[in-house]
Chains A and B, each alone.
Chain A
Amino acid sequence: DAGITQSPRYKITETGRQVTLMCHQTWSHSYMFWYRQDLGHGLRLIYYSAAADITDKGEVPDGYVVSRSKTENFPLTLESATRSQTSVYFCASSPSAGPTDTQYFGPGTRLTVL
């Protein structure tokens, strides 16, 4: 299917476990982003990637790890999940970094850490 997809859509895990959220886009966009959405905070940028093998921190990177070995995939890993990481996670992609190019968002992953 064309577009940007995220898996799983829902995930429940326990404190201390490792969790990986997947993001896949079919447009060959250079830029990809991970955001978390919490009540009262809107969306906050966790990590972004300008191209394969190029990643950088956003506003709230602590506790997260990303990789980008292929242009189309941008997985987000919580190495040791904590309750404060309970959130909705959105992946986005864009052809370039400029504001003239829209960021396209995936449907989100709702993560609950018990």
Chain B
Amino acid sequence: AQSVTQLDSQVPVFEEAPVELRCNYSSSVSVYLFWYVQYPNQGLQLLLKYLSGSTLVKGINGFEAEFNKSQTSFHLRKPSVHISDTAEYFCAVIRMDSSYKLIFGSGTRLLVRP
């Protein structure tokens, strides 16, 4: 069975500091990888995704993520966060043999303090 692990349930950080949100996955087949963001009282929005090619993926709002196949990780990073980045972040995968089925991690709450 496949799974997605986000070890940090909450990450507090000061404004303008860098941040890394960790995501590890396990799967018996290759996967596509995604990061979604959920702002308070809103639905999820796609931040970025890795389908193939360069392992460093750039997304919206200055976020980027790096796919590391050997460590089965897809950590999300931002060099300088803003108050407005406070949100819940979800890592997700789609197995290459299942096309549509997103499997989500439990989420990491990023709390940016002034």
What residues of A have a CB within 8 angstroms of the CB of B32 in the complex? Answer: 99
The reply to whether B100 and A94 form a contact with Cβ atoms under 8 Å apart is yes
The reply to whether A44 and B100 form a contact with Cβ atoms under 8 Å apart is no
Render B83-114 as a binary contact track against A, CB cut-off 8 A, 1 for contact.
00000001010100001111011110000000
Count of chain A residues with a beta carbon within 8 Å of a chain B beta carbon: 24
User: Known interface pairs A42-B90, A99-B32, A99-B94. Does A107 touch B43 (Cβ–Cβ under 8 Å)?
Assistant: yes
- Categorize the interface residue count of chain B: 20 to 34
User: Which residue of chain A is the closest to B50 with respect to CB atoms?
Assistant: A99
**Which of A41, A45, A97 is the one whose CB lies under 8 Å from B99?**
A97
User: Known interface pairs A42-B106, A43-B102, A99-B49. Does A90 touch B44 (Cβ–Cβ under 8 Å)?
Assistant: yes
Render B20-45 as a binary contact track against A, CB cut-off 8 A, 1 for contact.
00000000000010001000011111
Within the complex, the shortest CB–CB distance from A103 to chain B, in Å, comes to: 7
What residues of B have a CB within 8 angstroms of the CB of A103 in the complex? Answer: 46, 102
Q: How far is it, in angstroms, between the C-alpha of A21 and the C-alpha of B58 when the chains are bound?
A: 35
Within the complex, the shortest CB–CB distance from A89 to chain B, in Å, comes to: 11
CB contact list, A71-114 vs B, under 8 A: 90, 92, 94, 97-100, 102-103, 105-108
- Considering the complex of A and B, which 5 residue pairs feature the smallest CB-CB distances, nearest first? A105-B43, A42-B104, A97-B100, A99-B32, A105-B44
Which residue numbers of A lie inside 8 Å of B, CB to CB? Answer: 4, 31, 33, 40-45, 48, 58, 90, 92, 94, 97-100, 102-103, 105-108
Which residue numbers of B lie inside 8 Å of A, CB to CB? Answer: 4, 6, 32, 36, 41-46, 49, 51, 90, 92, 94, 99-102, 104-107
